Amino acid sequence: PGERNIQKLYDHFVIPGPHGLHICLDHEPLGISANELLEWTLGKAVILKDLKNCIRQLLVVLDFLHSVGGEIHTDLQLKYLLLPTPKPEALADFEEAEIKTPSARKVVTDRTIYMSSRFPPGDGLPLPSDFGEPRLSNKRLDEDIMPNLYRAPGVILRAGWEYDVDIWNVAMVVSVLQPLGHPPVWRYYTARPPTYIPCPAYPPAPDCD
């Protein structure tokens, strides 16, 4: 069932440009990110009860990636959880509006850069996207992954990691959404392991510097 809840890749093609070939990916169109949705939410937080279905779906997706695909996502964040698009009629209206009022753009010497337009959100739970940093491996790895905000202890301590870092990411996403918490403050350690790891739901200890 997890396969149904991942952003689909329909096709790919190559376009020649002034700086070489560009690989273009044709993805399933999705709406705004969970991060953007949170900006519209009162208090910019969601209670745990309302998150249960989303967490369950995300864990089902990870089970598919891990057990069937042998893949570790390594970079689950709110901005990579995208809401489904609305019904086709809404997309047709969106297309018509783009024709009448084109998106802002900037013309430079050798290209035109367009501002991204946002689809209105549809019904359904966010789908994981952005598979730009996956690892295909069934052994423990030790390379640096994940943004500091979401970095797992095994990565910080350079103790090796595998599929469990994705589960840690789910917990970090939930901690950011919790009304009593704030984004966890992670520090990047290289010379020595940390003596204190801040709890996502509470401010750092006074002497953690």
Query: Of 8-12, 44-48, 159-163, which range is least confident?
Result: 44-48
Residue 97 falls within a domain, yes or no? no
Residue 66 falls within a domain, yes or no? yes
CB atoms within 10 A of CB 113: 9
**Domain span holding position 176:** 32-85+120-189
Residue 80 falls within a domain, yes or no? yes
Assign residue 36 the CATH number of its domain: 1.10.510.10
Residue 79 falls within a domain, yes or no? yes
Average pLDDT of the segment spanning 29-44: 80
Helix (H) / strand (E) element for 14: namely strand 9-17
Which residues are CB-neighbours of 205 under 8 A, at least 6 positions away? 196, 198
CB atoms within 10 A of CB 1: 9
Q: Which tokens in the block code for residue 90?
A: 């809404």
pLDDT in tens, 71-100: 999 988 888 888 888 777 777 888 888 889
CA atoms within 13 A on the CB side of 192: 3
pLDDT in tens, 174-198: 887 765 444 443 333 333 333 333 3
Residue 5 falls within a domain, yes or no? no
Residue 209 falls within a domain, yes or no? no
Burial 141-174 (b: 16+ CB within 10 A, else e): eeeebbeeebbbebbbeeeebebebbebbbebbb
- Catalytic annotation, residues: 75
Residue 111 falls within a domain, yes or no? no
pLDDT in tens, 132-156: 888 887 778 888 888 887 888 889 8
Model confidence at 114, pLDDT cuts 50, 70, 90, reads confident
Residue 139 falls within a domain, yes or no? yes
Distance CA 56, CA 1 (A): 12
Question: For the chain, what is the domain count?
Answer: 1
Q: What was the pLDDT predicted at 207?
A: 42
Is the pLDDT at 200 greater than 60, yes or no?
Answer: no
